[in-house]
Amino acid sequence: MCLMAVNKLNRGMQLMSILNLKKIAIYFLMIMLAVIFVFPFMIMLGGSLNNRTVLVASPSMWIPETPSLKNYRSIMNDELVLRWLLNSVVISAIPVLTSIIICCAVGFIFAKKRFWGKQVLFWMFMAVLMIPSQMTLIPRYIMYSKFNWIDTYWAFLVPGIWSVMYMFLMRQFISTIPDSLLDAANIDGCGDFRVFAEMILPLCRSAIATVATLSFVSKWNDFMNPLIFTSSDSMYNMIVGLASMLQKTGNFGIQMASAVVTFLPTLILFIAFQRYFTEGIALSGIKG
Amino acid sequence: MLKAIRKNSFILIVLIPILIHFLIFEIFPLGFSFYISLFNWSLVGNHEFVGLRNWIDLFQDPLVGKSLLVTFKFAVYYILPSMIIGMTLALLINTKLKFANFFKELYFLPVVTSIIILASVWKWIFVGDKGGIVNFLLETLFGTKNQKFFSDENMALFITALLSIYKACGSLMIYFYAGLKGLPSSVFEAAKIDGANSWKALTKITLPLLRPTILYIVIISTIDVLQTFESSFILTGGGPNYATTTIVYHIYKTAFVNMDMGYASSMAYILFIIILIISLIQYKVLNKDVSYGG
């Protein structure tokens, strides 16, 4: 009797230790992978705080002995870099604002309104998502040079006023709003404009947050469009500016500090709105 | 009539400008691109109509063939490894242990980071002299001599693909994770009762059930590969000896460095057609094959 109890206890403990071992193994794997994933970011941060101009391969390189902000000071005194930052803010922030309003309005129409040709129009919009953006780069370049838009903000602000992807996200979200809510507002005699401004927009807060973060980050990180549609270096955005630095100077510290500065807005948004990023990716399949 | 317009004024006021915008910036470039491809079109000077010559040249251009081959090799280096890593990450965070969510966000970080930023670090990690960290590690661990990563034809493409893997596997993790969450838990309980171990459960139950997710990922990864450009631009400039000149990099060079817009347009059109076919296959396959049967 007693023996059986001991046996049982033993088996129970064995099972527990196996479970624990499994847990430990999983944590070990997760931490190892995390180290690999974070490693490039550590190099970036460490390098930016370093005084050295070339990378010296020893562990001391990413834990600088005497961390200094010299590199940051020098890029923050660089008028060109400040200009790149300003350009990035302009061509990221303004399209986000217009996109939110327009995508929400169009999404509302496709989710809740009925009119002739709606399905055809919707699928025509959606079909464009299959077109790779590189495909239209050449015709757009020729168009914009005819408009005299090359090397100006217009080449980014006008075409980027809304996007099909975010309209689709909005439509999906607005579809979940119960019709009865809108009907009640209609009976009360609210026109579509008031319904949109006073009901739809406030109800869409979380969808708007998703669209705002995703579109800001994708515009901030945009490389191809600014590369093609700018010609003078004072019109680069921060990303193209960083790329041009990578191809010219070989100063490790300065390059890493610029990379950190370019990365910072994304990181802050990511930490603040993590949920929206992963949800947005799962929903739409866009990659930051 | 007037009443109908007033009743639908919201729709008209919003949709008409948007439709015009859409036609100008999305639809018109598609047709215009084909028009350009029929010309010998450089930015300055006259455009000379050449008919289908650009399209015919395409099939005789050794660089087009080479860039297709490079892109194919890139796909081999990239697709399977990134899926295996993405799946591993998804399985790890699906254990729902404490902090799993924190790790999920960490693995996701490269996805939101610009590839140019990541490439700036990559460039220094793989620097071809003693200064490169990878060279340092290889030498201390295995005594390997300094590798010139970016001037070796095979190595250069592999390192470029490695950067894409690093950037993408976080998003593949999210797709797999979403797929795993959608699986019916009753199947796993049944398997546990039948005494299946974890590996068996993974290969015999999880992966077959995830077939739709896997198909979806293969297809979007293929489309991604076909559009690879930035890492070649920053890390290697397409070299050495065109070993990292992907299709899009070749199009970029032809259009904006050699200023041969007509020829580049015909190449871009071919790329578009390839991607369109893959997208249509995706649409067909996925619409047929999404239910888990119960």
Higher pLDDT, B10 or A18: B10
Lowest mean pLDDT among A251-265, B8-22, B91-105, B121-135: B121-135
Same domain, A18 and A136: no
What 3-state class would DSSP assign to B49? Answer: strand
First-residue to last-residue Cα distance in chain A: 64
Same domain, A182 and A279: yes
Q: Is B226 on the interface with A (CB under 8 A)?
A: yes
Same domain, A231 and A90: yes
What 3-state class would DSSP assign to B39? Answer: strand
Residues contacting A102, CB < 8 A, separation 6+:
A161, A162, A167, B14, B18
pLDDT tens, A6-45?
666 666 666 667 778 888 888 999 999 999 999 999 989 9
pLDDT above 90 coverage of chain B, percent: 37
**Ramachandran angles phi, psi of A77, nearest 5°:** -90, -5
Higher pLDDT, A63 or A98: A98
Domain that holds residue A108: 71-284
Q: How many CB pairs below 8 Å do chains A and B form together?
A: 225
Query: What span, in angstroms and rounded, lies between the C-alpha atoms of B42 and B259?
Result: 5
pLDDT at A6: 63
Residues contacting A177, CB < 8 A, separation 6+:
A111, A112, A200, A203
Query: What span, in angstroms and rounded, lies between the C-alpha atoms of B37 and B30?
Result: 11
The nearest CA of chain A is from the CA of B132 a distance in Å of: 6
Residue B163: pLDDT above 80? Answer: yes
Dihedral class, residue B97 (left if φ above 0, else alpha if ψ from -120 to 50, else beta): beta
Instruction: Check: CB of residue B171 under 8 Å from CB of residue A280.
Output: no
Lowest mean pLDDT among A184-193, B167-176, B247-256, B258-267: A184-193
Q: How confident is the model at residue A90 (pLDDT cuts 50, 70, 90)?
A: very high
Q: How confident is the model at residue B293 (pLDDT cuts 50, 70, 90)?
A: very low
Residue B52: pLDDT above 50? Answer: yes
Average pLDDT over residues B30-54: 86
What 3-state class would DSSP assign to B46? Answer: coil
Cβ contact (<8 Å) for A43 and B264?
no
Q: How confident is the model at residue B148 (pLDDT cuts 50, 70, 90)?
A: confident
Cβ contact (<8 Å) for B113 and A221?
yes
Q: Which of A38, A58, A287 sits opposite B111 (nearest CB)?
A: A287
Average pLDDT over residues B61-69: 91
DSSP state of A188: T
Average pLDDT, chain B: 86
Does residue A63 form part of some domain?
no
Same domain, A80 and A7: no
Cβ contact (<8 Å) for A132 and B223?
yes
Does residue B82 form part of some domain?
yes
Same domain, A31 and A116: no
Q: Is A115 on the interface with B (CB under 8 A)?
A: yes
C-alpha angle A227/A232/A238, rounded to 5°? 50
What 3-state class would DSSP assign to A183? Answer: helix
Average pLDDT over residues A235-246: 92
Buried (b) or exposed (e) across B101-115, using 16+ Cβ within 10 A? eebbbbbbbbbbbbb
Query: What span, in angstroms and rounded, lies between the C-alpha atoms of A42 and A143?
Result: 43
Does residue B222 form part of some domain?
yes
Kindly tell me the number of DSSP H helices and DSSP E strands found in chain B: 16, 2
Higher pLDDT, B281 or B16: B16
Query: What span, in angstroms and rounded, lies between the C-alpha atoms of B67 and B246?
Result: 5
CA distances from B118 to A138, B89, B134, B227 (A): 27, 20, 16, 18
Same domain, A117 and A201: yes
Higher pLDDT, B151 or B214: B214
Instruction: Check: CB of residue A104 under 8 Å from CB of residue A200.
Output: yes
Query: What span, in angstroms and rounded, lies between the C-alpha atoms of A34 and B193?
Result: 34
Q: Which two tokens stand for residue A104?
A: 């929400």
CATH number for the domain that contains residue B199? 1.10.3720.10
First-residue to last-residue Cα distance in chain B: 51
Q: How confident is the model at residue A5 (pLDDT cuts 50, 70, 90)?
A: low
Dihedral class, residue B237 (left if φ above 0, else alpha if ψ from -120 to 50, else beta): left
CA distances from B101 to B108, B134, B136, B174 (A): 11, 30, 33, 12
Does residue B23 form part of some domain?
no
Q: Is B114 on the interface with A (CB under 8 A)?
A: yes
Q: Is A228 on the interface with B (CB under 8 A)?
A: yes
Is the sign of the CA dihedral A117, A120, A122, A125 positive or negative? negative
Average pLDDT over residues B93-113: 89
pLDDT at B116: 94
Dihedral class, residue A93 (left if φ above 0, else alpha if ψ from -120 to 50, else beta): alpha
pLDDT tens, A109-157?
999 888 888 999 999 998 888 788 888 999 999 999 999 999 999 999 9
Higher pLDDT, B288 or A191: A191
Average pLDDT over residues A49-65: 65
Residue B138: pLDDT above 90? Answer: no
Average pLDDT over residues B176-197: 80
Does residue B201 form part of some domain?
yes
What 3-state class would DSSP assign to B229? Answer: coil
Instruction: Check: CB of residue B186 under 8 Å from CB of residue B249.
Output: no
**What chain B residue is nearest to A55 in terms of C-alpha separation?**
B131
pLDDT at A141: 93
Q: Which two tokens stand for residue B172?
A: 């593949």
Q: Which two tokens stand for residue A257?
A: 């500090």
Identify the burial level of B34 via C-beta atoms within 10 angstroms of its C-beta, where 0-12 means exposed, 13-18 middle and 19 or more buried.
middle
Does residue A120 form part of some domain?
yes
Q: How confident is the model at residue B137 (pLDDT cuts 50, 70, 90)?
A: confident
Does residue B14 form part of some domain?
no
pLDDT at A277: 77
Residue B19: pLDDT above 90? Answer: yes
Q: How confident is the model at residue A286 (pLDDT cuts 50, 70, 90)?
A: very low
pLDDT at B203: 81
Question: Could you give the dihedral angle defined by the CA atoms of residues A141, A146, A150 and A152, in that order, rounded to the nearest 10 degrees?
Answer: -130
Domain that holds residue B279: 58-288
Cβ contact (<8 Å) for A37 and B109?
yes
pLDDT at A29: 92
Residue A60: pLDDT above 70? Answer: no
pLDDT at B187: 76
Same domain, A188 and A274: yes
Cβ contact (<8 Å) for A138 and B131?
no
Average pLDDT over residues B88-95: 91
Higher pLDDT, A281 or A202: A202
Q: How many domains does chain B have?
A: 1
Per DSSP (E only), the strands in chain B are: 39-40, 48-49
Q: How many domains does chain A have?
A: 2
Query: ipTM strictly over 0.90?
Result: no
Query: What span, in angstroms and rounded, lies between the C-alpha atoms of B8 and A94?
Result: 28
Kindly tell me the number of DSSP H helices and DSSP E strands found in chain A: 14, 0
Does residue B49 form part of some domain?
no
Q: How confident is the model at residue A56 (pLDDT cuts 50, 70, 90)?
A: low
Higher pLDDT, A68 or A5: A68
Same domain, A40 and A116: no
Q: Which two tokens stand for residue B7?
A: 């009743």
Higher pLDDT, B191 or B65: B65
Lowest mean pLDDT among A33-37, A259-263, B195-199: B195-199
Most confident of A26-30, A83-87, B175-179, B268-272: A83-87
pLDDT at A85: 95
Q: Which two tokens stand for residue B48?
A: 């000379």
Q: Is B281 on the interface with A (CB under 8 A)?
A: no
C-alpha angle A121/A123/A126, rounded to 5°? 115
pTM of the model: 0.87
pLDDT tens, B74-87?
999 999 999 999 99
Does residue A138 form part of some domain?
yes
Residue A287: pLDDT above 60? Answer: no
CB hemisphere CA count around A283 (13 angstroms): 19
Which of A26, A30, A147 should one mutate to test binding to chain B, selecting the residue with the greatest count of B CBs within 10 A?
A30
* Residue A84 with chain B: CB contacts under 8 Å: none
Question: How many of the other CB atoms lie within 10 Å of CB of A249?
Answer: 11
Does residue B9 form part of some domain?
no
pLDDT at B103: 92
C-alpha angle A17/A23/A24, rounded to 5°? 90
C-alpha angle A237/A238/A243, rounded to 5°? 100
Does residue B62 form part of some domain?
yes
Instruction: Check: CB of residue B74 under 8 Å from CB of residue B161.
Output: yes
Instruction: Check: CB of residue A58 under 8 Å from CB of residue B136.
Output: yes
Residue B6: pLDDT above 80? Answer: no
